[in-house]
């Protein structure tokens, strides 16, 4: 039990380690005419950004993170400085806005450690890795000229082209649209740290994406129907035999009445056999009719019904590659549809 508790505690420490310096704000904006992050930014804009930056720092240190983030965003409108991005990322830690948080951390690291300092730069780098493990990587490409590729209703690009970016884990709908074709929809549901990798080589029409299915094999209802017809035909044969026996009995009985002959066992057997065949014919008619009706009904129910394939199901060979990044180790899982 103690070992389990110690393991959980160690895991929590590892998860929260990147946040250990979350209160370490960058306190001032260094400029310098030769620094790339200051190129083209006038002194007036730098001053306006610095004032907003300091106000944001004051609100952050008093734990008014939403107000601080608002001021940092306004400061960025004046000056795209890595330190502003860094402080804004810290103010977003408790908001759940992981995508924006990652973007600002990336911007904070753009020019290396110089606009921050070594300690804050290293913290930003570790925090970026920590956040990216909670997101998914998206890599989409398409060769079909003129086709538009969107994800969750957001246009990514018009082909030929490629998109690389980040998103939240969960279900995502990827749609390829081209004039004259139905929307080609694919669904992916990656988990944290995985990569959606998809290459679209063509767009499929209605005919290619439509298939037909039945409840049972086609022959089964018709076999039942045929069995009913055969049974009813057999009933007809029995009925005809019963009729012949009864007619013969009637003819002989008429002759006996004229001559006054007695009812012989042969005549009585002829009458009994005719009655028995007649009953068998009626039962056979009923069973055959039931089979014919049931077979026809099942054939109607079993008619071909169209259904829609996804492009993945149509391709069969499409591969979805999920990449789990864990430090320097990568686990590749290939799923075939």
The last residue of one of the domains, among 132, 163, 190, is 132
Indicate the residue among 81, 111, 132 that finishes a domain: 132
Distances (CA, A) of 62 to 53, 67, 181, 251: 14, 10, 56, 120
Indicate whether 15 and 77 sit together in one domain. yes
Helix (H, G, I), strand (E, B) or coil at 8: helix
User: Is residue 139 within 8 Å of residue 198, measured between CB atoms?
Assistant: yes
In a domain, 96, yes or no: yes
Q: Which domain holds residue 286?
A: 215-303
Last residue of a domain, one of 132, 157, 180: 132
From CA 136, how far away is CA 140, in angstroms rounded? Answer: 13
Whether residue 180 is found in the same domain as residue 95: no
One domain, residues 260 and 202: no
How is 227-293 classified by DSSP, letter by letter?
A: HHHHHHHHHHHHHHHHHHHHHHHHHHHHHHHHHT----HHHHHHHHHHHHHHHHHHHHHHHHHHHHH
**121/220 same-domain check:** no
Residues 10 and 106 in one domain: yes
Could you give the CA distance from residue 226 to residue 207 in angstroms, rounded to a whole number?
Answer: 34
Q: Look up the CATH number of the domain holding residue 79.
A: 1.25.40.10
State the CATH number of the domain containing residue 323: 2.60.40
Tell me if 308 is assigned to some domain.
no
pLDDT tens digits in sequence order for the chain, 337 residues long: 444 444 444 433 334 444 434 446 877 887 766 889 888 899 999 999 999 999 999 999 999 999 999 999 999 999 999 999 999 999 998 888 999 999 999 999 999 999 988 999 999 999 999 999 999 999 999 999 999 999 999 999 999 999 999 999 999 999 999 999 999 999 999 999 999 999 999 999 888 888 878 888 888 888 888 888 888 888 788 777 778 767 777 777 776 665 556 666 776 676 677 678 777 878 887 887 888 888 788 888 888 888 777 788 777 634 444 444 444 444 444 444 3
45 and 172 in a common domain:
no
Identify whether residues 196 and 321 lie together within a single domain. yes
Q: What is the DSSP string of 150-214?
A: EETTEEEEESSEEEEEEE-SS-EEEEEE-TTS--EEEEE---TT-EEEEEE-----HHHHEEEE-
φ/ψ of 141, rounded to 5, equals: -135, 155
pTM value is 0.64
Number of domains in the chain: 3
Helix (H, G, I), strand (E, B) or coil at 81: coil
Same domain, 56 and 75: yes
Q: Are residues 49 and 126 in the same domain?
A: yes
User: Which residues, listed in sequence order, are joined to residue 296 by a DSSP beta bridge?
Assistant: none
In a domain, 235, yes or no: yes
DSSP 87-103: HHHHHTTTTT-HHHHHH
């Amino acid at each position: 039990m103690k070992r389990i508790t110690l393991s959980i505690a160690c895991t929590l420490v590892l998860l929260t380690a990147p946040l250990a310096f979350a209160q370490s704000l960058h306190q001032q904006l260094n400029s310098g005419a030769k620094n790339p992050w200051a190129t083209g930014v006038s002194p007036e804009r730098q001053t306006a950004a610095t004032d907003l930056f300091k106000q944001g720092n004051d609100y952050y240190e008093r734990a008014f993170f939403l107000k601080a983030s608002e001021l940092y965003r306004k400061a960025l409108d004046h000056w795209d400085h890595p330190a502003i991005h860094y402080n804004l990322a810290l103010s977003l830690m408790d908001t759940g806005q992981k995508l924006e948080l990652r973007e600002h951390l990336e911007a904070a690291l753009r020019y290396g450690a110089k606009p921050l300092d070594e300690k804050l730069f290293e913290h930003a780098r570790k925090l970026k890795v920590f956040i990216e493990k909670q997101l998914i990587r998206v890599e989409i490409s398409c060769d079909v000229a003129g086709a538009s590729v969107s994800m969750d209703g957001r246009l990514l690009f018009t082909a030929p082209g490629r998109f690389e970016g980040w998103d939240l884990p969960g279900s995502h709908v990827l749609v390829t649209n081209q004039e004259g074709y139905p929307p080609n929809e694919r669904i992916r549901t990656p988990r944290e740290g995985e990569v959606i990798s998809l290459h679209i080589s063509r767009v499929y029409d209605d005919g290619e994406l439509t298939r037909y299915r039945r409840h049972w094999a086609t022959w089964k209802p018709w076999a039942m129907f045929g069995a009913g017809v055969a049974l009813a035909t057999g009933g007809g044969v029995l009925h005809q035999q019963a009729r012949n026996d009864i007619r013969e009995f009637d003819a002989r009985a008429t002759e006996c009445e004229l001559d006054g002959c007695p009812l012989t066992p042969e005549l009585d057997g002829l009458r009994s056999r005719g009655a028995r065949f007649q009953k068998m014919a009626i039962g056979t008619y009923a069973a055959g009719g039931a089979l014919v009706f049931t077979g026809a009904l099942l054939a109607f129910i079993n008619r071909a019904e169209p259904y829609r394939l996804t492009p993945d199901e149509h391709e069969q060979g499409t591969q979805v590659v999920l990449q789990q990044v864990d430090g320097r180790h990568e686990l590749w899982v290939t799923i075939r549809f």
